[in-house]
Amino acid sequence: MVDNQRNSSQEHNKDPIRVVTALLIFTGLIMAIFLIINTISNNNDDSTEELRSKIIEEIADSVNNNSSTQSEVNEEAILKFELSGGLFKEYNLKELKSALKTHKIQFVDPQYGKEKRYEAFSLQDVLQLGFGDKWKSAEYTDVAFGALDGYTAISTILKLQELGGYIVYKDLDFNNWEPVSIREVNPGPFYLVWTGKDQTTANDYPWPWQLASIDLIKFDTQYPAVVPKGIAKDSTAYKGFEIFEGRCIRCHAINQQGGTVGPDLNAPQSIVSYRSENMIKEFIKNPSKYRYTHMPDHPDLSNQDLDNLISYFNYMNENRD
């Protein structure tokens, strides 16, 4: 045994069985700790919340200590600022850091399902630096956050004027970024998060990772083929459009305008022309019941919301240019 040989040279360690036993106990202890951590992180009970974050922080510290280099962020990573798709300005991380106040934030990140610690800029500071007062002018209605992989998250500017949004540039729990989602993507170089309890994707807050560009847009000009024309704002179809704009367009297009993660829902054929209304409503509410899919569940949509969406799809189907 290798252990035997090593121990025989040490006078005070005469009993190799004791050493092996100690090793076994030690390994057992480590496994037990992992089991406990697993159990705790599967438990959403508030009382374990503090304990959980402590354990996670300790693990994080040991990970950090093992590394030789301190900062793994790419200071050259570029964030673009665009106006209706045209480049307006760009800054690299180094420039952003020297121009903006940096924050250390800590909260339960729903994308990871656990507490995370980050270094970040406040979203409002970033918008103000990139666009000046333009981002508050009536000329623009929405912001399109563009990701490296082509994903675009759209949000009304009204939402972005709330506090709680941060653009993260460094994961403090991990040397390089901790992979996120089942696809294990690296969320850097920039990752938009919200620290408010109700500021979730389910409530239409944009959470793009791999953020590369921030585009100030006027929705009706940017996505004319998605907007239902000639109907009242209090009609069911228009209300359905508003839900689509807030929750669906980041993945779905209408008439080839919008996201490309999911299928176009109106072109070449409308979803309502080849699926039953009930099936569509069921699916929108609970896609994970039917498929392993990248489409998230929408359990909070009411029957009225779902009817409004159908009404919007019908309207877009019947009113083609």
Cβ 291 to ligand HEC shortest distance, Å: 5
Cβ 226 to ligand HEC shortest distance, Å: 13
Cβ 294 to ligand HEC shortest distance, Å: 4
Interface with ligand HEC, residue 80, by CB under 6 A: no
Cβ 181 to ligand HEC shortest distance, Å: 10
- Asked if 102 contacts 119 with a C-beta cutoff of 8 angstroms, the reply is yes
Interface with ligand HEC, residue 88, by CB under 6 A: no
How far, CA to CA in Å, does 231 sit from each of 226, 227, 237, 239?
13, 10, 8, 10
Task: Please choose, from the candidates 120, 122, 103, 114, the residue with its C-alpha nearest in 3D space to the C-alpha of residue 60.
Answer: 114
Cβ 50 to ligand HEC shortest distance, Å: 32
- Toward ligand HEC, which CB reaches closer, 217 or 284? 284
Cβ 262 to ligand HEC shortest distance, Å: 3
- Asked if 201 contacts 207 with a C-beta cutoff of 8 angstroms, the reply is yes
DSSP structural state of residue 83: E
* CA of residue 51 relative to chain centroid, distance: 25
- Toward ligand HEC, which CB reaches closer, 16 or 262? 262
- Toward ligand HEC, which CB reaches closer, 73 or 284? 284
| Torsion angles phi and psi, residue 239, rounded to 5 | -65, -35
Cβ 76 to ligand HEC shortest distance, Å: 30
Nearest-angstrom CA–CA distance, 304 and 174: 43
Q: Give one word for 181, left, alpha or beta, with left for phi > 0 and alpha for psi -120 to 50.
A: left
Binding-site size, ligand HEC (CB under 6 A): 22
Residue-by-residue DSSP string for 215-271: EEE-HHHH-GGGSPPS--TTSHHHHHHHHIIIIITTT-EETTEE-SSS--SSSSS-H
- Toward ligand HEC, which CB reaches closer, 59 or 185? 185
- Toward ligand HEC, which CB reaches closer, 28 or 179? 179
Q: Give, as ranges, the residues between 131 and 170 that touch ligand HEC (CB under 6 A).
A: none
Q: Give, as ranges, the residues between 241 and 300 that touch ligand HEC (CB under 6 A).
A: 247-248, 250-252, 261-263, 265, 271, 275, 280, 283-284, 287, 291, 293-296, 298
- Asked if 117 contacts 183 with a C-beta cutoff of 8 angstroms, the reply is no
- Asked if 1 contacts 17 with a C-beta cutoff of 8 angstroms, the reply is no
Cis status, amide bond into 189, omega within 30 of 0: yes
Interface with ligand HEC, residue 16, by CB under 6 A: no
Cβ 279 to ligand HEC shortest distance, Å: 7
Interface with ligand HEC, residue 228, by CB under 6 A: no
How far, CA to CA in Å, does 140 sit from each of 124, 174, 207, 231?
16, 37, 20, 22
Q: Which residues bind ligand HEC (CB under 6 A)?
A: 247-248, 250-252, 261-263, 265, 271, 275, 280, 283-284, 287, 291, 293-296, 298, 309
